[in-house]
Structure 1
Amino acid sequence: MSAAADRKQATIQREADVAATREAVVRGLSAHNEARVGPRKAEPLALSLRDENGAMVGGLIGELKWQWLYVDLFWIDEAHRGAGHGEALLAMAEQAARDYGARGVYLGTMSIQAPGFYPRMGYRECGRMEDYPVAGQTFHHFMKAL
């Protein structure tokens, strides 16, 4: 019997319940990944930069998983840029990653954001996607070994 004949029949459809679909996909993908590289053991990471009044003027949101830190969101208010806060936030995130036992950090940024910042912090570009989010712009992927 051929491999194609062994496959079960299935249909593809668009789902209205995104949350339930996401949960099922995450559960299946997680089981697949865990069987090959071990448990994800994900831990969220949230760092903030606050002004003298306690208002949030920057922050970093990430996830520690497997042996890496993924930086999902990173923002510094325009009025607080250029004072070393970005470097300090990223250094704090990297230390949290080391404490977790991570081997490295990875993230993405758009050309309209801060692609020049990361090489100064020891990151190397490991990929790029042209014409994202719109024509003429680029999405940069960066990583750093710890």
Structure 2
Amino acid sequence: MATLQRESDVAATREAVVAGLSAYNAARAGERNSVPLALSLRDDDGVIVGGLIGELKWEWLHVDLLWIDEAHRGKGHGEALVAMAEDAAREHGARGVYLSTMSLQAPDFYPKLGYRQYGVMEDYPVAGHRIHHFAKAL
């Protein structure tokens, strides 16, 4: 018999769920071959003023975060970071890139770089906004 319950030890529960799901996925899609990706934009003093965080896994790059400080926007840094990430993905043998961005962020940025929108969820993160899902074949 199995029981359902809300767990207080989130870390242990997460570890068990990740281990089980990872084993299931590996049996069907092969090893995840996960490689974290961190790219930065630094100012003249070496301070990080932008960056891209992602994960190379299986045959894809997932871009989790992309940020450029307001003072450094509009200078091509975002495009350069995405291009650098795409190059890393190609080196990893990736077939494509996927990511999500909110309407209050940069949904108009990615189509200019060849990304196609494959989904939208309304009222996220709050009513009146949307989250846009994009992908690009490499």
Q: What is the TM-score when the length of structure 1 is the normalising length? A: 0.94
**Identity value in percent:** 75
Q: Within 5 Å, give how 1:25-40 maps onto structure 2.
A: 25-40=17-32
Query: 1:16 maps to which residue?
Result: 8
**CA–CA distance in 1 between the matches of 2:3 and 2:105?**
41
**CA–CA distance in 2 between the matches of 1:72 and 1:19?**
21
Counterpart residue type for residue 47 of structure 1? L
Which of 103, 106, 109 is the matching residue for 1:117? 109
Deviation of 1:42 (Å): 0.3
Give the unaligned 5+ runs of structure 2: none
- CA RMSD of superposed structures (Å): 0.4
Which of 85, 90, 98 is the matching residue for 2:90? 98
Deviation of 1:62 (Å): 0.3
Deviation of 1:108 (Å): 0.3
Give the unaligned 5+ runs of structure 1: 1-8
Q: Within 5 Å, give how 1:120-139 maps onto structure 2.
A: 120-139=112-131
Deviation of 1:98 (Å): 0.1
- Determine which structure has more spread, i.e. the larger CA radius of gyration: 1
| 2:49 aligned with 1:77 | no
Give the 3-state SS of the residue equivalent to 1:117 in structure 2: coil
Counterpart residue type for residue 123 of structure 1? Y
Deviation of 1:21 (Å): 0.6
| 2:100 aligned with 1:108 | yes
1:11-53 Cα shifts (integer Å, max 9, x gaps): 1101111111110000000011011110001000000000111
Counterpart residue type for residue 25 of structure 1? V
Deviation of 1:125 (Å): 0.3
Give the 3-state SS of the residue equivalent to 2:49 in structure 1: strand
**CA–CA distance in 2 between the matches of 1:31 and 1:140?**
30
**CA–CA distance in 1 between the matches of 2:33 and 2:7?**
29
Query: 2:50 maps to which residue?
Result: 58
Counterpart residue type for residue 41 of structure 2? L
Give the 3-state SS of the residue equivalent to 2:85 in structure 1: helix
**CA–CA distance in 2 between the matches of 1:124 and 1:52?**
35
Q: What is the TM-score when the length of structure 2 is the normalising length? A: 0.99
1:102-132 Cα shifts (integer Å, max 9, x gaps): 0000000000000000000000001110000
